[in-house]
Chain A
């Protein structure tokens, strides 16, 4: 079974540019989460999709960040325009719904390392 995949693995952009990160969850996982780790700090929750609907976006830093999940499959996270403080590793995770215990364990992708210069 394929795990959570993320693309690209690394992205280096200049301040003011736009970047789009992609996450493909494990097939059949309705829950999809985005997290971010800024260097040296904790991994922080950004938002949560259930299928194509945003369940919780309380962690999104500001309106420069836009997440979508077309058709309840893959998700994209766009940063526009990027700022220096957006640098970090962006993780995606997915989990099942409705299975005892299964809904609690999230499977993580490898992350996208974003550097804004």
Chain B
């Protein structure tokens, strides 16, 4: 069955620390990859997406992610986190067929200490 695995459920960092959240998926064929973020009390928002082309994708707020096809991975990174990055982060995958049904990971709760 198709699945998305996020390596960490909870991450605690101090401000200015670097962040890397792992994501692996099990999905054959061509995929579209996403990272969504949900800040406390807010909607799910798209951080960044990969459809094709350059596997290093830059998103909003200084986030980036790298698609490594051979590893079925799409890890999220940020060189220096801020207190305002405290949120829950979701990795997600869909395909160009089947109506773009999106499969989500379980989410990673990031807490950044000021």
The yes or no verdict on A and B being binding partners is yes
Interface digits, B41-67 against A, CB 8 Å rule (1 contact, 0 not)? 011111001010000000000000000
Contact, CB under 8 Å: B46 / A105: yes
Chain A residues positioned under 8 Å from B87 (CB to CB)? none
Residues 30-45 of B at the A interface (beta carbon under 8 Å): 32, 34, 36, 42-45
Alpha-carbon distance between A58 and B99 when the two chains are bound, in angstroms: 12
Contact, CB under 8 Å: B99 / A42: no
Interface digits, B1-40 against A, CB 8 Å rule (1 contact, 0 not)? 0001000000000000000000000000000101010000
Comparing A19-27, A44-52, A60-68, A70-78, the segment that makes contact with chain B is A44-52
Q: Given A44-B104, A45-B103, A104 and B98 touching (CB < 8 A)? A: no
Q: Which residue of A lies closest to B34 (CB)?
A: A105
Is B74's CB within 8 Å of the partner chain A? no
Contact, CB under 8 Å: A42 / B105: yes
For the side of the interface on A, what is the size category?
A: 20 to 34
Interface digits, A98-117 against B, CB 8 Å rule (1 contact, 0 not)? 00010111111111000000
Is A56's CB within 8 Å of the partner chain B? yes
Is B69's CB within 8 Å of the partner chain A? no
Contact, CB under 8 Å: B32 / A104: yes
Interface set of B (CB-CB < 8 Å, partner A) = 4, 32, 34, 36, 42-46, 49, 51, 90, 92, 94, 96, 98-107
Q: Can you name 12 extra interface pairs (CB under 8 A) apart from A45-B103, A50-B99?
A: A42-B4, A42-B105, A42-B107, A43-B107, A44-B104, A56-B98, A91-B44, A104-B94, A106-B102, A107-B46, A108-B44, A111-B43
Interface set of A (CB-CB < 8 Å, partner B) = 3, 31, 33, 35, 40-45, 48, 50, 55-56, 58-59, 91, 93, 95, 101, 103-111
Instruction: Jot down 29 A-B pairs with beta carbons below 8 A, ordered by A.
Output: A33-B101, A33-B102, A35-B102, A40-B106, A42-B104, A42-B106, A43-B92, A43-B107, A44-B104, A45-B102, A48-B99, A48-B100, A50-B99, A55-B99, A56-B98, A58-B101, A95-B100, A103-B100, A104-B32, A104-B49, A104-B51, A104-B100, A106-B102, A107-B46, A108-B43, A108-B44, A110-B42, A110-B43, A111-B44
